[in-house]
Chains A and B, each alone.
Chain A
């Protein structure tokens, strides 16, 4: 916004300078053609007339030429010299050149300014559009669980339900509330991450322990959804990262994998890790719905949803993978997604710098 304002002021000043310059050109040219040129021509005509009068009075041509060197004398007659006419022409050319160069410079400067302002305005418009689209998507994401919540409540108010039906509805409502709470947290996280307003540490993190902690929390859910959840992470692999960021990243990827496998009614999710040169790679492989190979980049964009249910009722904000990528970027790591196609499972690979041995 501030940059645009600076450019606007610069362009305005440039326009003012250009207008003054053009005004000066008009005045100068008018003055030159109506006054100076006429004065010069009449003065020269008077010199020719004076030379002719001197010649007529018997003054030798050499004396007349010495007195009035700009007047040509041929056979006792005074006439205008070619050099003076050439000087008038040269002056005209000089002026044309001056106008052409100066106006060219001003036009170029103006064009540059307009171009820069146009680009700045376009960038500003894009930011505004993204904000609008973000708000629209956020409101859309909330309306569905809100509708579900309202429907469940109104169903309870309208119908005579068995205790079991009531319990089902209450569980549904609690899940909807959890989903909305999770959305709020993720939206806030994504906004903070996008604006870089996070204070991330860079310290050694033992990967096996970090993955183990998250996996333990999801074992029960995996069992309920008939998913074989295994973690084969060797001890001693230490990454240089923020411990909380590692936890969030592993958790989001695991939630994503569980939802993808649940969508095909069961399967497996496996964590493996290895050291590659100065980096440590953590792979999360699932046998879930997968995605088209061409969608691997789109996955990490905000609000991308590639399979039915948007990752199930626990996930589905479309922000999980966006947060993963942003956290990895901010902690000097990388994340990539691979799948050979829909229904073929997926592989997510996280890479962090390995912690130096002495810091372990």
Chain B
């Protein structure tokens, strides 16, 4: 992300420790971001319902509403703002919990300032790419095999007329694949483009998301015609459908 783009990005820091909140806000401002802060989960939820931002830096152990619950609530309400969890609970189980709650990345306290800023930039870069890639009316909608996906609304209608609410990750995977129809896209490439570098321990995660997309959009998920597996490499997406 360029400096100009960064300066436009608005972030919300949800942290109950006043020193840490102040330190994070000052550093984000120094990088050119606009920053708001909230000292607890309840105030953060109220703020996010009334305002929009490009990134939420979210502590997990917060008064009133904890970070995981807040993130789940946002996702259930259709709010797909990227979330970077920042917490003292850094074991792998908590990491997975955070990502399952709908978080985009997870950083354990104490952390290095540069790493924090790197992750913020990485999340914003991914979302900037997604927004740009869905900016025009042509690129915002994908039609294949009787399915119709609206990337901007994170909604879709499948071949049987069923309405589908896509998660941010499903939409991003679909977008990466749709950008390169007919080409082989490796699992590593999907991981890098959608999640970043070391967030997930395994490329199996990508496979699970592809299974979910097949269930949503394939007439026969066991014999896919659009989301094809290329054994040992990754996936190939076909708009017209193939065997």
Contacts and interface: CB of A to CB of B under 8 A. Distances in A.
A155 interface: yes
Nearest to B59: A144
SS of B interface (majority): loop
B40 interface: yes
Contacts of A75: none
B61 A151 contact: no
Interface in A287-319: 305-310, 312-313
Interface stretch (B104-112, B158-166, B176-184): B104-112
A262 to B, nearest CB: 10
Nearest to B109: A147
Contact of B113 (A151, A175, A305, A309): A151
Interface residues of A, number: 27
Interface stretch (B24-32, B200-208, B221-229): B24-32
Interface stretch (B12-20, B124-132, B134-142, B212-220): B12-20
B23 A146 contact: no
27 contacts: A140-B61, A143-B110, A144-B20, A144-B88, A145-B17, A147-B20, A147-B88, A147-B109, A148-B19, A148-B20, A150-B110, A150-B112, A151-B23, A154-B113, A155-B27, A155-B113, A159-B27, A159-B30, A172-B19, A308-B16, A308-B40, A308-B63, A309-B16, A309-B17, A309-B39, A310-B17, A313-B19
Nearest to A141: B88
Interface in B132-159: none
10 closest residue pairs by CB, A with B: A143-B88, A147-B109, A147-B110, A154-B113, A151-B23, A148-B19, A308-B39, A148-B20, A140-B88, A143-B109
Contacts of A148: 17, 19-20, 23
Interface centre among B17, B26, B61, B111 (most CB of A within 10 A): B17
B16 A151 contact: no
A340 B16 CA distance: 24
A158 interface: yes
Interface of B: 16-20, 22-24, 26-27, 30, 39-40, 61, 63-64, 88-89, 109-114
Interface of A: 139-140, 143-152, 154-155, 158-159, 172, 175-176, 305-310, 312-313
A169 to B, nearest CB: 8
B109 A307 contact: no
A204 B91 CA distance: 51
A254 B109 CA distance: 30
Contacts of B20: 144, 147-148, 151
A231 B89 CA distance: 42
Contacts of A143: 88, 109-110
B116 to A, nearest CB: 8
A194 to B, nearest CB: 23
Contact of A144 (B24, B63, B109): B109
Nearest to B39: A308
